[in-house]
Amino acid sequence: MEQIYLDYAATTPVVPEVAETVTDCLKKDFGNPSSMHRLGIRAEKRIRKAREQVSRLLQVEPEEIIFTSGGTESNNMAILGTAYDKRRRGKHCITTAIEHPSVLNCFAHLEKMGYEVTYLPVDQKGVISLESLQNALREDTILVSIMHVNNEVGSIEPVQQVASLLDQCKNRPVFHVDGIQSFGKLPLYPKGWGIDLVSLSGHKIHAPKGIGALYRRKGVRIQPILFGGGQQGGIRSGTENITGIVGMGTGADWIAERHAENDRYLYELKEALVSGIRRDFPDVVINGDPENSAPHILNVSFPGAKGEVLLHTLEEEEVYVSTGSACSSREKKISHVLKALGLNDRTADGSIRISLSYLTTPEEIASFLPILSRSVQRVREYTRR
């Protein structure tokens, strides 16, 4: 039985080009980039190249990229670093109800420290309203943090319009965007759009786990949350993870090349997927707005079929999907994202997330659909007993 992996929003496999570059780096350039001898200088050159590769995809300057241990650290650095830096100017922050836990838990921490946080609601498509943001803004608002693409339903937030709105503020808040799910799949140009901070993750673009990055627009101040040897301009201390950094740079190049070859590829796969599911299941509920969401994420509910049971039924056929965010899908409670979209518990409980990559093929989608059909029927029959 051939494996069909459709959980790319959780993580992606390392592609051969990345593995080759990382292996070469492990063998040849193991020096500490802070060392003054030749090995250190070679390692530092590797980092400089990776910084250029990542910055090219965002169309920003290489020196505006700070490497981190992953998306969670990037979000923590952006949110806590800004809140600590701006605490004398104000203690009000704005985010949304559907953010990733690495964002929501930062704000929960800030609330315990005396900050006030406004959580913007979303509509049934999973999108905020600019009017609700406008109404939430105050003179003491220091930070607005809004994800670009939601990791569970793929909704796309209007971050470019948000930046334009913030530009009209007398005391403009810092604008942070969690770009972890959109990086390499959708256009994301922070400098041109007026975004101050963007979080990125390596393992979502076929690079290794344990590496991420934060774009920080030149001139934007944040306080460090890690202290040590003062690497990366004192913002992120700690010896750089050179193999992870090199892998992320190569992953950025790899995904940029795939996107340049056919920027409709993921959309075409998703359209085939949606069309097949709607044909086989007239009662299916597609969560969010599949026609206007990210090209690689689809969240569907099959009434009468519990999502977790369906996941394991598919697993028996070597098909791998998710019931939500991989970071929270082992929790038994209903997804906070689906609740925010207004789904009732029964519909939310019957949802699975199917996510794609440039490695997904049309043949895999064609093979997946009949497996999904018989798996849903099995689960429904089991549930009715």
Where in the sequence numbering do the catalytic residues fall? Answer: 327
8 Å CB contact between 310 and 375 = yes
Tokens (6 digits) for 341:
């979209």
162 conformational bin, left if phi > 0, alpha if psi -120 to 50, beta if neither? alpha
User: Whose structure tokens read 């934007």?
Assistant: 220
Tell me whether residue 381 is exposed, middle or buried, using C-beta atoms within 10 angstroms of its C-beta: 0 to 12, 13 to 18, 19 or more.
Answer: exposed
Q: Of 81, 299, 46, 334, which Cα lies nearest the Cα of 181? A: 299
Contact partners, residue 100, CB within 8 Å, separation at least 6: 71, 75, 147, 151, 178, 180, 325, 327
Q: List Cα–Cα distances, 80 to 58, 144, 172, 233, in angstroms.
A: 23, 12, 18, 18
